[in-house]
Structure 1
Amino acid sequence: MKLRLDEWLARNFAPAPAIRTARLWIKDGKIYPAPVKVGRAYYVEENAVFQNGIARPSLASRIPQ
């Protein structure tokens, strides 16, 4: 089941971070599985996790020079 972003934040953080912060996390790929945008709102899987602020490495960093 999917929850609105603000509801998911309230369940997983005390106090919940600002919506703007959470939208930056989504943009940076720090919430897994990735939320879905419907209209103006984001919906997050109930069991989604925040990845401790560590973004996944990009493939460009693996190319030998």
Structure 2
Amino acid sequence: MPKLLNLQEWASEVYSTLPSLSTLRRWVREGRIYPAPELHGKEYRLLPDAIYVDIKKKKYQRMTTGQKRTRSTGSLLEKLQHGEKATTLRR
């Protein structure tokens, strides 16, 4: 098992300008670091290969070379532009 790092050690390896400790703790609470850090006593510990995930961006799936990206849902405007029927209309 790899050695677990605390938040400041991890941030010093990942970022050139360090975010504050309160920002790092907020990211942990909001689930923005994957895999999720573990609380050891009063300190969060995480794996060295943990990454920051922006939860506001859409999730993308890895595609193989021959696949096309398909839309499963979209806004009403997108459905109207592409000729799809809208299932519901919210007012």
Identify the TM-score tier after normalising by the shorter chain: 0.7 to 0.9
Q: Distance in 2 between matches of 1:20 and 1:11?
A: 18
State the TM-score, normalized to the length of structure 2: 0.57
Deviant stretches of 4+, over 2 Å: none
Structure showing greater radius of gyration is: 2
More strand by share: 1
- Corresponding pairs, count: 56
CA RMSD of aligned residues (A): 1.7
Q: Is the 8 A contact 1:29 1:55 kept in 2?
A: no
Unmatched segments (≥5 aa) in structure 2: 59-91
- Name the CA distance, whole Å, in 2 between partners of 1:37 and 1:28: 14
Identity of aligned residues (%): 32
Q: Show structure 1 runs of 5+ residues with no match.
A: 58-65
Q: TM-score, normalised by structure 1?
A: 0.77
Structure with higher RCO (Cα < 8 A, 6+ apart): 1
